[in-house]
Structure 1
Amino acid sequence: MRGSITIFATMLLMMISQFLFTVLEAGRNIELTNIAKMNSEAVVESVFAQYCRPLWDEYHLLTYDAGTDAAGNVNINEIDTYMRNVTTENFKISTDDTIAFGTSMLRLSMDEIDPLKYALITDDNGGVYAREIVSYMKENLGYEIASNLYSEYQAMNETASDSVYDDNGIDNALGTLNSANKAKPSAARCSLNSKTSSTAAKKTDTVTENPLVEVQKVKATGILSQVVDEGSVSGNRINTGERVSSRALHKGNIESAGMDDWYAKILMQQYFLSYMSNYLSPDNSHAMNYEVEYIIGGKSTDKDNLKTVVTEILVIREALNMAYLISSPTKQAEAASLATGLAGWTANPAIVDAVKWGLLFGWAYCESVLDVRALLDGDKIPMIKSDSSWTSGISGMGRLLSGNTKAKSSDAGIGYKAYLGVLLFTKSTSTMAYRAMDVQEATVRMVEGYGNFRMDNCICEINADVTYKYHGLFLCFVNLLNGADNEFLIRNKAQYSYYGE
C-alpha cells in the first residue's frame, strides 16, 4: 500500500510543528527565567555564607570579609569570579561551552555581571552597622520592652538635669568660712584643717568637726581610687592610631538612609550590654576587657574608660541624691544644725546658709561614692533614695569615704548595667557604632589568620544586575528560522543583605 501526502498536508504539518516547538521553547524560556532567578539568589547567598567566623562567634555579627586584595582593599573581582564559578558548577557547564556530566535542556551560562554595588559595614557614618544590629536585636527584644527602657533612661536623665547639685558647692562653702574667719581676726576662728570652734553667740567651749575639709581631701585623691582597688583594674589598651573611628575608611557604593531614632538606639544599647564585655563581665579573650566602657569613654585604656564611666555615674548619683536631700526635712534640719555649729559664730545668716548648702553637697557626694561602690560590686540601688535606703550620716563622711563602706543594696533598685545603658543613651548612634567597631576589629585581629582584618573591608549587602545567556533548543527544528540568531538573554537582579532588606 502506497502512502502519500499532499502539499497542503505538508504545510499544515510544518505549521503544527512550528507551533508545538514554539510552545515548548516558550515553556522552556519561562522555566529558565525562574531558574536564573533562583541561581542569582543562590550564588549571592553562597557568597554571604562565607561570613567572618570570629566576628560571629564573639559578637553575633555577620559580615563577609572582602579584604583579600594584596593592598588590603576590598576585592570585588573575587566575588565576581566566585559567582561565575558557582553558576558554572550549578549548570554543569564545561569550559568549552559543551554540556558536561549528562544532558540538560535547562542550561544557562552567566554572561555579564554589572559592576557590583555593595555596602560596607562602616558606611553611612555607622548606619549600616546600626541597621544590622537593629535587624538582629528586633528578634530578641520586643518593642514594648524597648519602650519601657527608653522611658526609664529618659526619666533618669531628666531628673539628673533638673537637679541643683553644684560640684563647687563644697569649695564655695569653705571659701566663705575662710573669708569670714580672716575678716574677724579677734573673733573665735574656724579651723579649716579638721575642727572649728562652736558659735561665739553661745560662748561655749564645744568643738565641732568640719566634715567639708575631710570630703575635700578625699575628693582630691581622684574618684577611681575611692570606689575600686586600682591594682585590680584591667591594664588592656587599644592602638588609637589604627582605630576604625580615627582612620580613613574604604567606602561602598550603595546609598542608604541613616538610623538615629530612639528605637534603634535602645536596640543598639541592649546589644552592647548583651554581647560586649564590661567591668562586671570582663572577657580576657577580647582586646579590651571593658568594651562597653570604651564605647562610652573612647579612651585608649580600660582604666581610663572605667574612670570616665565612674565619674559620669557619680554625677548622676550626686544629682539624684541631692534631689532627695532637698526633699527631706529631716536631712535639711541636720545640715542646718551642723552649719550653725560651724558658722554660727559669724552671726551672719548668709554664711550659715552657704555652709549648710556646702554640707548638703558634700553629703550627696559621700552617698554617691558609696552608691558607685555598691554598683561596681554588683549591687542594685534605688534611683531616688528614701530615709530607709539612705546609708551615710552627715558626720563622719571622711571616714566613710576613706574606708570600704558601700551603699545599702535594694532588689527594687537598678544595677551597674542599667547605668551603662543610661550613659549610652547620651551618645549618638554614629559614635556608638564606630567605637564598637574599634574594639571588635581589635579582637578579631587577635585570632590567628586575621591579623590584617579591617571592618571597612566587610560587606553587608550586595546588589547587581546579572545577565544569563542560553541557546534555543526547539526552535532550531523550525526551518523558517534558518539563519536567525538562536542565542537569548535573561536579565535579573542578584541581591542579598545580612539585615534582611
Structure 2
Amino acid sequence: MSLRPSGKKLVKSQIKGYITVFLSLSIMIILSLVLALFQGARIGAVRMKTECVADISLNSVLSEYSRALYEQYGLLMVDASYGTGNHSITNVQEHLRNYAQKNFDRSRAGGLMNAQTMTAMYCKDARISGYSVATDNNMAVLSRQIMAYMEGEPIGNLMSSVLENVGSLQSGELDTIDVDELARENQELIDSYELPVIEKENGEKEIISIGNPADVVNSQRGIGALNLAIKDKSSISTVRVNLQDYASHRDLNRGTGLDESGISGGQNLIFDQYYYEKCSRYGAEFEKSLLKYQLEYLAYGQDSDYANLEKMARTLLFWRQASNMLYLFGCEAKVSEAELLASALSIILFLPELKDPIKYSILFAWTFAESISDLHILFSGGRVPLFKSDSTWKLSLTNMFSFRDHLGSDCGEGLYYQDYLRMKLFLTDAGTKLRRMADVIEMDVRRTDGNSSFKLDYCVDIIRAELEIGTRYGYEASIERIYGYER
C-alpha cells in the first residue's frame, strides 16, 4: 500500500498558505493606513486644541480687566501691574502662559492614574509680541474706549444748545473784548490831566483830588474775582496735588501704538458729555474724587482746586464784563446817570474836558460791580443770561458803591454755572482735555483698594500673542492671535 499523500490534499495545503500571506500583506497596509490616519488625527487635534487654548487663554487674560477703572469710568483695560506696583507687560505674559498651561494639564484623576491623552500637549512658550496701552499715540487708545462707551448716547439737543451758546458768546465777542484793558486806558487818560492846585493858609500848595466815585469800586479789584464772588471761603476745596505723579506730566510707557483719527467737533461734544458724566465740578462734588473740581481741572490744569476755580472765576468775569459793558454802554438811562455825576465833578474841578473820561470810568466800575454780582449768582446756583436786559440788570448806580453788600440773586432766566463751564470746556483744546482726563482717572483709581500705584500707561487694551506648543510625540505647533475689547 502506497503512503504518499494524494494530489487533492496537496492543493488544499497550498491554498491555505496563499491566504495567510495575502492577509499579512493586507493587514500591514491597513494598519499603516490606520496609523497614518491616527497620526493625522493627532496632528489635527493638536492644531485644533492649540487654537482653542489660545482663544481661551487670551479671553481669560482680558477678563482680568481693572474693576475700579470699569466701575468708575466704564473703561475695559488690563492693569499690567495687577495691583502689585510692579508695572510690566511681562506680568500679563506670565498670566497668559499660566492660562495656556492650565488648559493642557491633566485633570487630578488623570494625574493619579497616569492617564495619557492622544495629544500629550504642553505650553513651550507664550509671548506677547505687541500690545497697546491707554496712553499710546497721544491718548488715542483712551479716546477710542471713551467713544465706544458713549456709543449711542443721545446728545442732539445738548449739541445744539452748547453750539448755540458758544456761537452767541463768540459772535458777541465776549471772549475777546478786554474790558479791564479799556478801563486801564481810560484811567491813564484821566491821570494825564493836570489837576488844579490850591494854596493853603500856611502857603503850601495842594493838588485837588478828583474824588472819582469809581475809585471806591476800583480799589477792590485787587481782591480777586473769586474772593469777591464767594463770601464763605471755607466752602472752597483746598485739595492740592503733585501733577508730576500723573500721566500728562511724566514720561509714559509705550506699547505698539495705534493709528487713531483725531477728534472732530461733534466728537468733542461727545467727549465733553462723558466728562460731565464722570467728573465732579464746583457745586456737584464727588466723595470718591481727589480733586473736587475735576471739570475745572480739565479746563485749566492747575495743581489745586482753588487755583482751578479761581481761573474759572476770572474767565467768567472776563465774559460777564464784556456782556455787561455792551448792555450798559447802550442803555441811555444808565449812561445819563453816570454822565450827570461826571458833569458835576468836572464842574467842581473846573476841568470840563474830564467829563467823558470820568463818565466812562464810572461805567467801567459799574460794569465790574455788576459782573461780580453775576459771579456770586452763578456760584450760588442761580442763572445769569449771556446778554443782560433792563429786567435782568441787578445793581443801581447807588448800590454800585457798596456792591459787596448788594450781590444779586437768580435773574430768573439764562444760564447756570455748569452751562458757562460747558462752554469753557468746549473751547479748550480736545487733546489737552483728554490728557488731563487721564490724570483724573489715575487720581481716583489710586484711591481704591489695591490700586495705590495705578498707571494708565500700563493699562493694556489690545494684545498680540504668540503661543508655541509641544507634545510628547515630537510634534510642535505655533499660533498668533490679536485680541482686544469690543463693545
Q: Please classify the TM superposition score into its range, dividing by the shorter chain length.
A: 0.7 to 0.9
Cα distance in 2 for partners of 1:379, 1:69 equals 44
Is the contact between residue 210 and residue 349 of structure 2 (CA under 8 Å) also seen in structure 1? no
Residue 256 of structure 2 corresponds to 253
Give TM-score, length-normalised by structure 1.
Answer: 0.77
Residue 319 of structure 1 corresponds to 322
Q: Is there any run of 5+ residues in structure 1 with no aligned partner, and where?
A: 197-209, 472-484
Query: Residue 310 of structure 1: CA displacement?
Result: 0.9
Cα distance in 1 for partners of 2:424, 2:469 equals 53
Is the contact between residue 297 and residue 308 of structure 2 (CA under 8 Å) also seen in structure 1? yes
Residue 203 of structure 2 corresponds to none
Query: Residue 130 of structure 1: CA displacement?
Result: 2.2
1:213 correspondence with 2:201: no
Query: Residue 6 of structure 1: CA displacement?
Result: 10
Residue 408 of structure 2 corresponds to 406
> Does the C-alpha gap of structure 1 residues 417 and 10 become closer, same or farther in structure 2, counting only changes over 3 Å?
farther
Residue 430 of structure 2 corresponds to 429
> Does the C-alpha gap of structure 1 residues 292 and 380 become closer, same or farther in structure 2, counting only changes over 3 Å?
same
Query: Residue 119 of structure 1: CA displacement?
Result: 1.8
Query: Higher mean Cα deviation, 5-14 or 225-234?
Result: 5-14
Query: Residue 420 of structure 1: CA displacement?
Result: 1.7
Query: Residue 320 of structure 1: CA displacement?
Result: 2.3
Residue 387 of structure 1 corresponds to 390
Residue 8 of structure 2 corresponds to none
Is the contact between residue 273 and residue 417 of structure 1 (CA under 8 Å) also seen in structure 2? no
Residue 354 of structure 1 corresponds to 357
> Does the C-alpha gap of structure 1 residues 273 and 43 become closer, same or farther in structure 2, counting only changes over 3 Å?
same
Query: Residue 239 of structure 1: CA displacement?
Result: 1.9
3-state DSSP class of the match of 1:323?
A: helix
The one-letter code of the counterpart of 2:260 is: A
Residue 493 of structure 1 corresponds to 481
Is the contact between residue 335 and residue 359 of structure 1 (CA under 8 Å) also seen in structure 2? yes
From 36, 39, 49, the equivalent of 2:63 is 49
From 98, 112, 132, the equivalent of 1:119 is 132
Map 1:441-456 to 2 at 5 A. 441-456=442-457
Greater C-alpha Rg: 2
Cα distance in 1 for partners of 2:168, 2:113 equals 69
The one-letter code of the counterpart of 2:169 is: M
Query: Residue 107 of structure 1: CA displacement?
Result: 8.3
Query: Residue 225 of structure 1: CA displacement?
Result: 1.3
Query: Residue 57 of structure 1: CA displacement?
Result: 3.3
1:237 correspondence with 2:240: yes
Residue 169 of structure 1 corresponds to 182
Residue 370 of structure 1 corresponds to 373
Aligned-pair identity (%)? 24
TM-align CA RMSD: 4.1
Is the contact between residue 80 and residue 113 of structure 1 (CA under 8 Å) also seen in structure 2? yes
Query: Residue 438 of structure 1: CA displacement?
Result: 2.4
Is the contact between residue 463 and residue 484 of structure 2 (CA under 8 Å) also seen in structure 1? yes
Residue 11 of structure 2 corresponds to none
Cα distance in 2 for partners of 1:441, 1:143 equals 31
Map 1:36-435 to 2 at 5 A. 37=51, 39-67=53-81, 74-93=87-106, 110-142=123-155, 145-146=158-159, 148-161=161-174, 164-180=177-193, 182-185=194-197, 191-193=209-211, 210=213, 212-228=214-230, 229-257=232-260, 259-343=262-346, 351-400=354-403, 402-403=404-405, 405-411=407-413, 413-435=414-436
> Does the C-alpha gap of structure 1 residues 160 and 36 become closer, same or farther in structure 2, counting only changes over 3 Å?
farther
3-state DSSP class of the match of 1:384?
A: coil
Deviations 1:421-443 (A, max 9, x none): 22222322332223223233233
Map 1:10-29 to 2 at 5 A. 18=33, 29=44
Deviations 1:445-483 (A, max 9, x none): 333432222232222222234455679xxxxxxxxxxxx
Is the contact between residue 237 and residue 301 of structure 1 (CA under 8 Å) also seen in structure 2? yes
Count of paired positions = 463
Is the contact between residue 150 and residue 262 of structure 1 (CA under 8 Å) also seen in structure 2? no
Deviations 1:216-262 (A, max 9, x none): 02212111211112222111111234232222222222243353322
The one-letter code of the counterpart of 1:51 is: Y
Is the contact between residue 121 and residue 455 of structure 1 (CA under 8 Å) also seen in structure 2? yes
Cα distance in 2 for partners of 1:368, 1:458 equals 45
